Amino acid sequence: MRLHRITFYMLFAVMLGGCATSKKINEASDIQDDGKSNVAVLTYDVTLYATDRYPTSKSTTLSFHCPENSALNRNNCFSFSVPYKGLSEYDGYNLYTYESSGATVMKLKYDALSATHGLYKILLDVKTERKCSYNKKSRKRSCYPQTVAKHDSHRFSLPEPIPLIVTPGSGCYMGHLSLNITNDSINEYDFELDAELTPEKLANLDSAVSSAVQRFVDRPCY
């Protein structure tokens, strides 16, 4: 197992990077075609292992990048949160484990995209630094505290692109993702493009949202 690390500092206020193209849906009333964008659903079983972690890190965001979207939002196409579950053993190592199963329901503008890369960041440290600046007009120097976060950033290539074609009409189902990864090294991967969208896969959703998804989403996203 390859344990590769890219560590960097960034401002705490932008810990999660750019906004995704998709908008996460939390209300049943939003599950509709609005004339410019439509609903897409991804179901998943995801386990992310990390070799280090800040004690207060309770989750990470797993995002997927689409090269066709390079002019917007740093290629970020869609994303979902993966909570921290504790230490577990894998391949002879005791690793910090982030794990989630369920579905994410998104609203995206009509487009033909394909996700080729994944990215997630693990918070390692948070510290406060003293920053100072000089105002030439007032000839005064002022100082203020600034919170800085240290992360491990893990980027990985998908074995095959995940198609995401959003068109008018009913909502679409992307498929089911099974992913097990340590840092940026994929241990297990499977993507069922023609998987069946069952109620069990929507168990993490609000019941009204789950019911609306089952009524509205009836075709694949390819």
| Mean pLDDT of the chain, nearest integer | 88
Question: Given pLDDT bands bounded at 50, 70 and 90, which one contains residue 3?
Answer: very low
User: Distance from CA of residue 163 to its chain's centroid?
Assistant: 16
181: pLDDT strictly greater than 70: yes
Return the number of other C-beta atoms located less than 10 Å from residue 95's C-beta: 21
Give the β-pairing of 76-90 and 59-65: antiparallel
C-alpha to C-alpha distance for 52 and 48, rounded to whole angstroms: 12
Question: Given pLDDT bands bounded at 50, 70 and 90, which one contains residue 16?
Answer: very low
Take residue 147 and report the two structure tokens written for it. Answer: 């919170």
- Tens of pLDDT along 67-83? 875 554 456 889 999 99
In the block, residue with structure tokens 């068109």: 167
Q: What is the mean pLDDT of residues 169-192?
A: 96
Q: What is the mean pLDDT of residues 198-209?
A: 96
C-alpha to C-alpha distance for 78 and 111, rounded to whole angstroms: 13
